[in-house]
Structure 1
Amino acid sequence: MLDDLLQHLGLAAFSLKGFGPLLLQGTWMTIKLSVLSLLVAVIIGLLGASAKLSSVGILRIPAQIYTTLIRGVPDLVLMLLIFYSLQTWVTNFTDAMNWDYFEIDPFASGVVTLGFIYGAYFTETFRGAILAVPRGQMEAATAYGLSRSQRFRYVVFPQMMRFALPGISNNWQVVLKATALVSIIGLADLVKAAQDAGKSTYELFYFLIIAAFIYLMITTTSNFFLRWLERRYDHGSREALR
């Protein structure tokens, strides 16, 4: 259908030798996987940063072990371990309960796996950003009678984001590129689509170049949004310096 539309518009050259729909589906899969993995990683990062900054050892020590292990093991190894471990645990549980075999959806597993891996990096990003917020701001908020949640929402979070956004931007690009690893667990992402198209036409280099260009377009577009966020959260500090 996409090829027919492109030919009708006189853009047959952009049909990509009949593999345009496949690459489009792969691109959409990559975007969905990246965004949802980012959300999971941000949530884990906020929880992990709070745990690492906690004075309670039962929270701080596991968070420290988590970030140390995750950042010290290659992403590909972690993805294989987590993906197949999840399936093994689920299978063992269903067997123990005498339930029918349940297979984990590869997309959901990919989101959880990437989010868990990069949650460790976001943990360090948010931890550094929280530490960069002047302690006097928290003391002033406490003096005004704000609750802990109110202090985080109105005082810590806006200032933390100003310090964290450069790291978030970098982590986002890493997460986006890391989605290329999900092809090993059966997901038809952009890289998998480019490989299939290239093997079918014996023009693998051509389709990998197309995939690289699509990745570049996604990162470039997202960078405009992230720069807008940086200007938004930096607005108050720039005004104060004038």
Structure 2
Amino acid sequence: MLDLQGYGPLLLEGFKLTVLVGVSSMALAILLGMVGAWAKVTQLRAVNWAAGVYTTVVRGVPELVLILLVYYGVPTLIQDAATGLGYDLRVNLNPFASGVLTIGFIYGAFSTEVFRGAYLAVPAGQMEAARACGMPRLMAARRILLPQMWRYAIPGLGNVWMVLIKATALISVIELQELMRASQVAAQATRQPFTFYAAAAGLYLVLTIVSMALQQRLESWANRGVQRA
């Protein structure tokens, strides 16, 4: 067993925080993805344009740049604006909230494309048939469209989750004590970087394996009753 020199609990706490950040960010990403997908398929041109700008800009800028921009840039921008108006204002953002909001915002753009593809995969004739039978639009979406969209979206959302959970390591730059930051602290204190970075890699791998197993279970549940060719 690796000698963690008493830093094992620190890594485990960092691991728990990583999972919490990942789950919270993924929930936000799914919410933004569903809204973004609707915006991309609606007939409102202004909404289409706004959704296109969101997905293009966010997917085109590195995650680390956006994290630094939000955590360090936004407070500075607000403070400079307040100074220009004659106010002395100091803004300090919460690292956890900043990390969750930024990661969720970033991967909301990727989830948007996943949900848009899932929406397009559902035959349009099914919704037309439901409307022809007198089913209200919201009921048809809830009973016909959304269940099938989830079936098509789960594999793509699983990939988004895998990438997102690794991207949480980037928020170590804003000093949130998640797994990567805890590993850095332990490595610097003990001068054993290989030991602690290897331990962190092992914990990320465990999380990935568990996530893959859960994704397979979700896919099996979503595809129940679906006849395979």
Shorter-normalised TM range? over 0.9
1:16 paired with 2:4, answer: yes
The one-letter amino acid of 1:186's match is: E
Q: 2: CA distance between counterparts of 1:210 and 1:119?
A: 30
1:58 paired with 2:58, answer: no
Q: 2: CA distance between counterparts of 1:55 and 1:117?
A: 25
Report the Cα offset of residue 104 of structure 1.
1.5
1:236 paired with 2:207, answer: no
Report the Cα offset of residue 142 of structure 1.
1.1
Q: CA RMSD in A?
A: 2.0
Instruction: Specify the alignment match of 1:45 in structure 2.
Output: 33
Report the Cα offset of residue 116 of structure 1.
0.5
Instruction: Specify the alignment match of 2:94 in structure 1.
Output: 105
Structure 1: which 5+ runs fail to align?
1-12
Q: Name the % identity.
A: 43
Report the Cα offset of residue 213 of structure 1.
0.6
Structure 2: which 5+ runs fail to align?
none
The structure-2 alpha-carbon separation of the partners of 1:148 and 1:83, relative to structure 1 and needing over 3 Å to count, comes to farther
Q: Secondary structure at the match of 1:237?
A: coil
Question: Is the contact made by 1:94 and 1:101 (CA closer than 8 Å) also made in structure 2?
Answer: no
With 215-224 and 42-51 compared, the bigger mean Cα shift is at 215-224
Question: Is the contact made by 1:197 and 1:207 (CA closer than 8 Å) also made in structure 2?
Answer: yes
Counterparts of 1:81-100 in structure 2, within 5 Å, are 81-91=69-79
Q: Secondary structure at the match of 1:235?
A: coil
Instruction: Specify the alignment match of 1:192 in structure 2.
Output: 181
Report the Cα offset of residue 91 of structure 1.
3.7
Count the aligned residue pairs. Answer: 228
1:71-129 Cα distance to aligned partner (Å, 9 max, x none):
11211112222333432355467665958634221100100000111110000000001
The alignment's TM-score, normalised by the length of structure 1, stands at 0.87
The structure-2 alpha-carbon separation of the partners of 1:14 and 1:48, relative to structure 1 and needing over 3 Å to count, comes to same
The alignment's TM-score, normalised by the length of structure 2, stands at 0.92
Instruction: Specify the alignment match of 1:224 in structure 2.
Output: 213
Structure 1 residue ranges (4+ consecutive) displaced by more than 6 angstroms after TM superposition: none
With 131-140 and 100-109 compared, the bigger mean Cα shift is at 100-109
1:139-181 Cα distance to aligned partner (Å, 9 max, x none):
1121222223222211111101111111111000100000000
Question: Is the contact made by 1:94 and 1:102 (CA closer than 8 Å) also made in structure 2?
Answer: no
Instruction: Specify the alignment match of 1:206 in structure 2.
Output: 195
